[in-house]
Amino acid sequence: MRDDRRYQLRDWVMIGLFGALWGVVETTLGSYLNVVFPAFTNTFFKGLILGSIGVGVALTGRYFVRKRGSLVLIAVITALLKLLSPAGARIGPVVAILLQGALMEVALLLSREPGAWVYALGGALAVAWNLPHRFLMMAVLYGRSVPEVYQMMVRDGSEMLGFDPSFALGIIAVLLVVRLIAGGLAGWSAWRLGAAVARRLGRRTPVAAR
């Protein structure tokens, strides 16, 4: 009797395909955003756009590879492509990709039968990770303290949203909620897209691995 938890050749092909697609988003769209929106690079908008599209691609892949760890493997392939990209090996984006993959995987493993809302949860957690990730990377790579990074994010958010800097907690909350909504929509869309493609191919919804 075949063990449905074991990876088959088709699973590896799909993991490679969607890992490569996410890698293309990171390497090509990221560079394009740097050129078109130079003022937004390394800020809220770039992370929101890349994060939402990336997790949408990864979760669509997860729809077709219902195996534990498949999202982590997709993220690993994406991270390797990011390391080999012409932009150079930057540890921050690589760590973010790997942790996003892990967060999506955890969200899906919490449910016995993943559905649209579970995918939305996974997407929301992954995109929202960009907020604490900035604190982590600024501390590890640049030696910035948490208060310093917090003040910088409040200042940038104040300029972007038009809020008074004294409304600091509100600014951080808005930035977090927008990420959660964008990630949730990306995850929900991934489920819907996967289901639509499966119907077009005449396949039933795959059975989740236990």
Split at pLDDT 50, 70, 90, the class of 205 is: low
Per-residue pLDDT reduced to its tens digit, 41-89? 456 788 888 899 999 999 999 999 989 999 999 999 999 998 887 665 6
- Side-chain-side CA neighbours of residue 44 (13 Å): 20
Is residue 181 pLDDT above 90, yes or no?
A: yes
Q: Please tell me which residue, 141 or 106, carries the higher pLDDT value.
A: 106
Q: What is the pLDDT of residue 209?
A: 45
Residue 137's nearest CA partner among 36, 23, 202, 42 is 42
Which amino acid would we find at residue 194? G
Q: Please tell me which residue, 110 or 18, carries the higher pLDDT value.
A: 18
Looking at residue 143, the DSSP 8-state letter turns out to be -
Split at pLDDT 50, 70, 90, the class of 111 is: confident
- Side-chain-side CA neighbours of residue 129 (13 Å): 23
Split at pLDDT 50, 70, 90, the class of 142 is: low
Per-residue pLDDT reduced to its tens digit, 6-37? 889 999 999 999 999 999 988 888 777 766 66
Mean pLDDT of 164-180: 90
Split at pLDDT 50, 70, 90, the class of 140 is: confident
Taken in order of first residue, the domains within the chain and their CATH numbers are 9-200 (1.10.1760)
The encoded tokens of residue 98 equal 């790997």
- Give the long-range contacts of residues 71-76, CB within 8 A, separation 24 or more: 71/101, 71/102, 71/104, 71/105, 71/108, 71/122, 72/98, 72/101, 72/102, 72/105, 73/15, 73/19, 74/15, 74/18, 74/19, 74/22, 74/101, 75/19, 75/22, 75/100, 75/101, 75/102, 76/19, 76/101
pTM of the model: 0.86
User: Other C-beta atoms within 10 Å of 41: how many?
Assistant: 13
The encoded tokens of residue 29 equal 């769209």
Percent of the chain whose predicted confidence (pLDDT) is above 70: 86
